[in-house]
Structure formats: structure tokens, C-alpha cells
Chains A and B, each alone.
Chain A
Amino acid sequence: MSAALEIAGLRKSFGRTLVLKDIDLIVGEHEVVCLIGASGSGKSTLLRCLNLLEPIDAGRIVVAGEEITRRGVDANKVRRRIGIVFQSFNLFPHMSVLANVTLAPRLALGRGKREAESQARELLGRFGLSDKIEAYPDHLSGGQQQRVAIVRALAMQPQLMLLDEVTSALDPELVAEVLEVIGELAAGGMTMVIATHEMGFARDIATRVCFLDDGVILEEGPPERIFTTPHEERTRQFLERIVNAHRL
């Protein structure tokens, strides 16, 4: 059986700045891989590359046995299989929660209105958003907005979910409700790649942790090991800073 996601020799630069130098990563089915590392280490860029939102310079990305970086691939089809949730929610402000969630299933998957809406209601209900179905994003808290954004991505029934620092824009008291949702997804067997600054969360949820530093995966391993006995000096320094900032 092929891995859910395979990245080989991925390289990406913006102008003359090389952001991702040489990324190799294999993510198995139902695995939850957390990407940690300082801001600017390339975590977000990596996730955006995986969803083909950024063109890559070299390397290949294979999702469930299909190379999505080959020439002539239909990027829209690829994106329908890979859900991504952003730090800043990016809900569509001119649409109700229900319309936000049903837009892509209806347009991209050609689902009927009734089918898309009943699926959306079910998903929103499962994540405690039943009473917000008709609300507009502006009238929701950040935590609610982010949960809607997760539901919006789930409504496409993706094989793989990418979460890009989904709690970084939230007030501290709203972080837990979003992490709880992600925990449920993991428990349900969703394959996920998660960029995060929440080290405690990463330790609890990850099957594997990758430490990104200066555009490469410097160290990877099970969370117990990475957080207790990191091999690399830079990983140790990074975690020390996190501990000193009371984030772990």
C-alpha cells in the first residue's frame, strides 16, 4: 500500500530566497505529523506547496500514489482531495456559515443543494455549530470561525488535511475548542499534516514530529523522543526557548 503523502527533494524559493531547501517526508495513512519550528522556517510554505497553492521549483509530491506535481495535472482536482485550513480562517464574509460550507461541494463536486446542505448540517452539528448555520462569519468568535473553516474543508471529504497554525490567530481562551476538534479528527483516523506552535498539543496528538529549521527537516521522530531527548542542538535550543516562554 502506498503512503498517504510522499514528498521527495522538494525545493521552493521566493525570488532569490530559498525557503524550502530539500524536503523529504513520507506520511502514512492515519498519521498525524506535526511540523514545528520557528517562524520563517518554512512550515506554512510547505503546506501551501502540498496544496499546489505555491508552484514548486524542484522535487515531487505524491498523494495516495498519484504524483500531483507532474506536468498537466489538474490542480483543482488535486485540491478537492486535500483540505487546508489557514491561520486567518479565510471564511467568505459575504456568505452565511451554511453557504460557506456548501459552496465547494456544490461547485466543485457538483452536489445538489439539498444533499450538500444536509451534509453540511450534519458536519456543523457534529462540531457544535448547529445554532450558527445561518450566521455570518463577522458575527462569530474566532474559535467558531476556525471550526467553520475546518468543517468547510471537511465537507469536501478530503483524504488529507493540512492545518496551517490554525490556533495562532485565536485568543488564548478560544484555542482549546479548536484543538478539541482537531483531536476528534485524529481520533477518527484523518491523515493530517499540522504546522503548529502549540507544543503541548503536538506532543499529545502527533504520531510524529518534524522540526523544520532554515528550510530543511532537521530532525524527526515520535513526539516523546523529540520533546525529551532531541538529537540536534538547534532542536534543543528551539524547545528551550519554547519552555522558557511557558509554551510547553
Chain B
Amino acid sequence: MASEGDRRAGLEVEPRRSRVIAALNPGGGSRGVAIALVSTAVFLLAVVFAITHAPGWHEVKRTFFDWAYFKASLPEISRAFLLNVKIFSIAECFILAFALFLAVLRSLPGPVFFPLRALAIVYADFFRGVPTILVIAILGFGAPGLQMSGVPTSTTFWGIVALVLVYSAYVSEVYRAGIESVHPSQEAAARSLGLTRGQTLRKVILPQAVRRVIPPLLNDFIGLQKDTALVGTLGAVEAFQQSSIDTNATFNYTAYLAAALLFVAITIPLARFTDWLIARDRRRRQAAGVAG
């Protein structure tokens, strides 16, 4: 057991060091690292040189990279960006629950449940097929237009509903892949012990399924964070809409860059975190494989 512990510790450290080196230098060796660094620097310099010596560079620099405009627009856009954070936070909670419900519907066995399975399939097909911006436009402009009492008229509300509808279709497919990846022998083992179908799903299948699909779930979450900008098309003043207002007032596009930086500031850490989770998962599986 001691040697197993050592090996595990080794596996923890080894990839962390080698991943950086591998990215720089798939060949190996310190000379390789040096070559990778130099070639990256040369490449970046060439790109910067090409852009800054383009005929229209001074015009682009004035309209997209103006520090004064950046500083002036950032506080307002940051405030507006809080609405994006609110939208994706609320939407994500509902998506995780609703998509799981859809996935479970689709995994119900037997001919009795065919209508429910069919419904879940049609749903996933439909909402993955329609462009998100159309769903947002149709719901955002259509639903409040009904003027029914009790139906909210807030564009943010309908924007969130639209995102939940669309993303649940994707996420339910992710869940489904997870459920199907759990070997049927697990269900057989649980049922053979006298557990009901529901107990088996809750205690044996779903815990394993969800654990396996956390990386792709986070991937969809990154997409959702970006797509909150689409809610701005309904008029809700989120980061994209706010930067549009700024650019329309000043004829300077630096505000878009500020908004883009805000999105990147949250999506990139999440993307890195996702990669880290995937790598950790792989390490664990390999460790388990060796032990087994």
C-alpha cells in the first residue's frame, strides 16, 4: 500500500510539471523549451508588426484601442455586466434541474413511456435546432405582447426563460451521455439487491453519471455565460447593450473591447478550471486502472 501511495503522489506532481513543458515543447528536453519560447516570441512579434504596419492601423487604433474611452466606459459596462452575471447564475440553476428532468424522461424504459421519451427527443431536437437569438427574440417580444395578467413583462425574465429552454436541450444531452455511460451491470447489481428503479437511478446511476459529465457541463456553462449578451438584443442593459450605447454615443468602439475583456475575465478561468478537472479525472482513472 505504501508503494501505491507513492505512485499516486507521483501522478499528482508529474503531469502538472510536464503539461506546461508539453505545451511548449512536445519534443522534450530543455533545448526544445528554448526553441519553443523563441519561435513563440518571433511569431507574436511578426503578428504585432503586421497589424501595426497595416495601412488602416492608426484609424483602428483610434477607434478600438483608445485608453481614455476605455477608462471612461469601463465602470458603466462593469455595472451592466452584473446583469449578465445575474442572468447566467439564475439560468444555470434552472438549466441543471430542467435538463436532468429531460434526460431522465428520455431514459425511461419500456413501451409505456414512449410518449414521454418522444417528447424529450422532440424537445432536444427543436431547441438545439433553432438559433438562440431567435428563441430570445420570439419569447422576449412575443410573451409580454400577450398582455396576460400575471405574465411578467420584464425582458430579462423572458431572456432567462429563453436561455433555460435552449441550454436545457444541450445539457440534457450531456446528462444522457453520462447516464448511458454507466454500465448496465451497475443497474443489474442495484436491482438485484431489491432497490426500485427510482432508488437505483437516484443512488447508483445518477451520481456516477453526473460525476462523469462535469467537464462537458462546465463547457456548456461557458457558452451560456457568453450568450447572456444575446438578452441585450431585447433591450435589457447588460454589458453588450451598454457598450453599444457607448459606441453609438461616441463613435468609438473601445467600449466593445471593454465588454469583451469582462466576458473573457470570467470564461477563461472557468475554461482552465474545466481542463484541470478533466486532467484530474483522467489521472484518477489511470491510477484506478493500475490499482485494479
Contacts and interface: CB of A to CB of B under 8 A. Distances in A.
A12 interface: no
A108 B193 contact: yes
Nearest to A152: B193
Contact of B189 (A86, A138, A139): A86
Contact of A84 (B192, B199, B207): B192
Given A92-B204, A94-B207, A76 B194 contact: yes
B291 A104 contact: no
B189 A79 contact: no
Interface string B87-123: 0000000000000000000000000000000000000
Contact of A90 (B186, B195, B196): B186
Contacts of B196: 76, 108
A131 to B, nearest CB: 10
A77 B195 CA distance: 9
A90 B188 contact: yes
Given A107-B203, A138-B288, A139-B291, A53 B208 contact: no
B61 interface: no
Interface in A43-78: 48, 51, 53, 76-77
Interface residues of A, number: 27
Nearest to B210: A94
A139 B292 CA distance: 7
Most buried by A among B189, B207, B211: B189
A92 B192 CA distance: 13
B184 to A, nearest CB: 10
B291 A79 contact: no
Binding site of B, secondary structure by majority: helix, strand, loop or mixed?
A: helix
Interface in A77-136: 77, 79-80, 83-84, 86, 88, 90-94, 103-104, 107-109
A131 B4 CA distance: 16
Contacts of A109: 194
A90 B291 contact: no
B194 A80 contact: yes
A104 B194 contact: yes
A174 to B, nearest CB: 12
B38 to A, nearest CB: 44
Given A138-B288, A138-B292, A103 B189 contact: no
A93 B204 CA distance: 9
A53 B4 CA distance: 38
A90 B193 contact: no
Interface string A135-168: 0001100100000000011001000000000000
A90 to B, nearest CB: 4
Interface string B189-218: 111111110010001100110010000000
A94 B189 CA distance: 14
Contacts of A93: 208
Contacts of A90: 185-186, 188-189
B288 to A, nearest CB: 4
A107 B195 CA distance: 7
Contacts of B211: 94
A109 B199 CA distance: 12
Given A90-B185, A94-B208, A94-B211, A107 B192 contact: no
Contacts of B207: 94
20 contacts: A53-B191, A76-B195, A76-B196, A79-B191, A79-B192, A79-B194, A80-B194, A86-B188, A88-B185, A90-B186, A90-B188, A92-B186, A103-B190, A103-B195, A103-B203, A104-B190, A104-B195, A107-B195, A107-B203, A153-B192
Interface of B: 4, 185-186, 188-196, 199, 203-204, 207-208, 211, 288, 291-292
Given A90-B189, A94-B207, 14 more contacts: A51-B192, A53-B192, A76-B191, A76-B194, A79-B191, A79-B192, A86-B189, A90-B186, A91-B189, A92-B186, A103-B193, A103-B195, A103-B203, A139-B288
